[in-house]
Amino acid sequence: MLSENALKVLYRLNQAGFEAYLVGGCVRDSLLGQVPKDFDVATSATPEQVRHVFRNARMIGRRFRIVHVRFGREIIEVTTFRGGHDTEMAERHSQQSEEGLLLRDNVWGSVDEDALRRDFTVNALYYSVRDFAIHDWTGGLEDLEHRVLRLIGDPDLRYREDPVRMLRAVRFASKLDFTLAPETESPLADCAPLLLQIPPARLFEEVLKLFLSGHALSTFQGLRRYGLFAMLFPGTEESFAQLSWAEKMVEQALINTDERIRADKPVTPAFLYAALLWPATVAQTAQLIDEGIPPVPAAQQASQQVLNRQLQHTSIPKRFSLPMREIWDMQLMLPRRRGKRPYQTLAHQRFRAAYDFLLLRESAGEIASGLGLWWTRFQEASETQQREMVQKVEQGQDDLVGDDDTPESMPMPSRKPRRRRRRRAPRDGQE
């Protein structure tokens, strides 16, 4: 189960006179009988020395300097043993914020010091090709046997050094089906606000790891349990108390995500974020409507306001935020099924994602069922049958949904329809 290229790196570093070990998730997963996806190497060689040994190496990172050794599509990540922060060298090569956040950590040390700098004991297991043995300086083998996830060192201090460790704790516990050690778990709720110190770009990457690992639902439940989800998606957390269907919708979206990953189907962050932020958008839309803004402009303004707020917590690259907005916008297009509109909607590049999103909304109980079934049949129908379906809508004879201006078609919380909607101008020549 070990990568041949990772073993090449170990042997070549050893031949060059350096210590080198496989470390982290690849060792942990191998011992658990799982197939590792990534291989990390820890070594006594400095990044410059690693680059000298491997011509196919590239140094990256400023906060933590690491080396990527590339073999075709496979990348072996090589890091130098890190030491403690109580030496003169540490003062020159590490930096912390006033809150204890580790801003820079390029202090080299020995392998046993490196083990103490790792996050969890089960991630601090080292495999050597010198003796073909597992080396354990933190009790990781025992924790692995008992399926316990334990943070190395003082949890409060370690969380302050890097608050993302809290997200990793929840993610690994969910992924491995491990129990958090009591001392690892207890500070989580109090330390949750520390996540606000982390750059939004880094948290975007962490969100993808949290929800695209195949264990999104249990991870979501863990994040909420410790108040971490509210630090990542504050608007969505607030909407759970306002909308009866909101939590169910997010959970169903995550269940669907897990199923697609297990089936080896693609999952786009655009759809994930569309589902995670939709409840906040609906709640904000309702507030703007209450302030007198018509429904469609209210929905559009709410979308932008929710996105702007979210970007303060997790960045969303435009390659994902733009299709996310299109999925949302098409929720206003799908109910409009007169004339040429259904054909134009069906031809839209985001139709499939928007259609799936509509089904998700219906399954959560946000809107009444019917529209999703209409679009299901419309996709499967012949051209003649499609024309007949559109004619029924135009004649008010659609037995699945009814009129395409029903309040349930709008992105608003379940509430009585506002009378102002009847004053909208006639469309498509309808009198």
Domain segments of the chain as ranges? 1-146, 233-417
Contact criterion met (CB below 8 Å) for 360 and 252: yes
Residue with the two structure tokens 């090569």: 93
Instruction: Give the distance from CA 221 to its chain's centroid.
Output: 14
- The CA distance from 179 to 182, in Å, is 9
Which parts of the chain register pLDDT below 50?
87, 89-95, 102-104, 405-409, 412-423, 427-431
pLDDT digits (tens, 9 = 90+) for 402-429: 555 444 445 544 443 444 444 455 544 4
Please classify residue 212 by burial: count the beta carbons closer than 10 Å to its beta carbon, then call 0-12 exposed, 13-18 middle and 19+ buried. middle
For residue 143, indicate whether it is catalytic: no
- The CA distance from 134 to 183, in Å, is 26
Helices 351-364 and 318-333: crossing angle, nearest 10°? 70
C-alpha closest to that of 236 among 277, 192, 176: 277
Contact criterion met (CB below 8 Å) for 396 and 338: no
- The CA distance from 50 to 180, in Å, is 36
| Sequence-ordered list of residues with C-beta below 8 angstroms from that of 239, at least 6 positions apart, any chain | 246, 279, 280, 282, 283
Instruction: Give the distance from CA 127 to its chain's centroid.
Output: 30
Q: How many CB atoms lie within 10 A of CB 224?
A: 16
| Sequence-ordered list of residues with C-beta below 8 angstroms from that of 237, at least 6 positions apart, any chain | 224, 229, 230
Select which of 38, 112, 329, 405 is catalytic.
38
Is the CATH number of domain 233-417 1.10.3090.10? yes
Given this model, what pLDDT does residue 101 score? Answer: 59
Instruction: Give the distance from CA 107 to its chain's centroid.
Output: 31
pLDDT digits (tens, 9 = 90+) for 128-157: 999 999 999 999 999 999 999 999 999 999
Contact criterion met (CB below 8 Å) for 208 and 377: no
Given this model, what pLDDT does residue 286 score? Answer: 96
Q: What is the residue-wise DSSP string for 72-98?
A: TTEEEEEEEPB--SSSHHHHHHEEE-T
For the whole model, what pTM was predicted? 0.85
For residue 428, indicate whether it is catalytic: no
Is the CATH number of domain 1-146 3.30.460.10? yes
Question: What tokens were used for 50?
Answer: 């690693």
For residue 105, indicate whether it is catalytic: no
Q: What is the residue-wise DSSP string for 335-361?
A: T--STTHHHHHHTSTTHHHHHHHHHHH
Rounded to 5°, the CA angle 404-405-407 comes to 120
Q: What is the CA radius of gyration of the chain?
A: 26
Given this model, what pLDDT does residue 217 score? Answer: 98
Contact criterion met (CB below 8 Å) for 246 and 240: yes
Select which of 119, 143, 162, 398 is catalytic.
119
Given this model, what pLDDT does residue 91 score? Answer: 47
Select which of 29, 40, 143, 404 is catalytic.
40
Question: What tokens were used for 394?
Answer: 């135009």
Question: What tokens were used for 403?
Answer: 């009129």
- The CA distance from 233 to 385, in Å, is 44
